[in-house]
């Protein structure tokens, strides 16, 4: 149906409307002060498409000033990213539903080398920017251990700063900070550990420090002193998971 334009008029295009019944109350409210329309010029709400009309594009003519006290912002309140604070490494974008959403967008301006890096999780990342993206997506404690792919030995590993390279019991190289000051004396003899090298360490701190200075993980034979009786060893728990425990010793 072709209608003579109504002045002033606003054309609203709605794509993929869910249903006409849900849309009409928003677009066509009750007129505030309707005036009679001649028979050959029906009211705006009489010329809306019916349910048989394709809904891909719904074109509605709204007589904005004469009849309706509504404006477009009232009809379609828009959401923006103006007041959204996403935090470090993220920016706000409107998703496909036009809702403000925080997405990861780390600042990679300082990343000058696009080379692989080894993360503190023992995984290889294509570059530091890729690692920052993974950190933003759920690994807040993830950091770069060293440049290059993760190694099985410390031969070609250059640790940053004052950290030192240590190989754990899975033969994976890690950069860790060695304790410089001596470990405090344990409060009880029950904190002692027996290393798989046959030496007794007074506490986890002592074993961790020895591992770091040696550059190779010292496995835990059992809890307690190395000369403990079999009964004592069984009470403390023999044959512990050294792989997991060694990571705890190194502070990973």
CA separation for the pair 93, 113 (Å, rounded): 28
In a domain, 200, yes or no: yes
191 within a domain of the structure (yes/no): yes
Cβ(189)–Cβ(236) below 8 Å: no
Answer whether residue 145 shows pLDDT above 90: yes
Tell me if the pTM is above 0.85: no
pLDDT digit string, tens, across residues 236-246: 444 444 443 44
Shortest CA distance to 64 belongs to which of 55, 56, 73? 73
Residue 144: band (very low, low, confident or very high) from pLDDT cuts 50, 70, 90: very high
Q: Is 205 among the domain residues?
A: yes
∠ CA 108-112-117, nearest 5°, is 80
Considering the domain architecture, whether residues 126 and 181 belong to the same structural domain is answered as: no
- 233/176 same-domain check: yes
Burial 21-57 (b: 16+ CB within 10 A, else e): eebeeebbbeeeeeeeeeeeeeebbeebeeeeeebee
In a domain, 107, yes or no: no
My answer on whether 19 and 63 are in the same domain is yes
Domain membership of residue 232 (yes or no) is yes
Q: If you average pLDDT over residues 210-225, what whole number do you get?
A: 89
Residues 184 and 209 in one domain: yes
Handedness of CA 77, 80, 86, 91 (dihedral sign): positive
Residue 225 sits in a domain whose CATH number is 3.30.60.30
List, for residues 21-75, the tens digit of each pLDDT value: 555 555 555 555 555 556 666 555 454 555 544 544 444 444 443 444 444 444 4
One domain, residues 139 and 184 = no
pLDDT tens per residue, range 162-183: 899 999 888 899 998 888 888 9
Question: Into how many domains does the chain fold?
Answer: 3
- pLDDT in the model for residue 105: 93
Structure tokens at 38: 């001649």
Domain that holds residue 210: 164-250
Looking at residue 143, its pLDDT comes to 94
């Amino acid at each position: 149906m072709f209608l003579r334009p109504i002045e002033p008029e606003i054309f609203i295009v709605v794509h993929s409307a869910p249903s006409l019944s849900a849309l009409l109350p928003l677009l066509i409210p009750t007129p505030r002060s309707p005036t009679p329309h001649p028979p050959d010029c029906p009211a705006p709400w009489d010329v809306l498409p019916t349910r048989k009309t394709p809904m891909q594009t719904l074109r509605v003519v709204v007589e904005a000033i004469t009849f309706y006290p509504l404006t477009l912002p009232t009809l379609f309140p828009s959401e923006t990213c103006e007041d959204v604070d996403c935090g470090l490494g993220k920016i706000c974008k409107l998703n496909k539903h036009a809702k403000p959403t925080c997405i990861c967008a780390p600042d990679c301006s300082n990343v000058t080398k696009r080379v692989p890096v080894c993360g503190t999780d023992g995984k290889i990342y294509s570059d530091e920017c890729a690692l920052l993206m993974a950190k933003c997506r759920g690994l807040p404690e993830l950091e770069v251990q060293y440049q290059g792919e993760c190694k099985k030995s410390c031969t070609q590993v250059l640790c940053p700063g004052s950290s030192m390279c240590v190989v754990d019991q899975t033969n994976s190289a890690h950069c860790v900070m060695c304790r410089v000051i001596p470990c405090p004396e344990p409060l009880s003899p029950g904190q002692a550990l027996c290393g798989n090298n046959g030496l007794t360490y007074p506490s986890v701190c002592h074993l961790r420090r020895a591992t770091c200075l040696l550059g190779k993980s010292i496995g835990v034979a059992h809890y307690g002193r190395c000369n403990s009786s079999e009964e004592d060893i069984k009470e403390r728990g023999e044959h512990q998971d050294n792989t997991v425990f060694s990571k705890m010793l190194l502070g990973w």
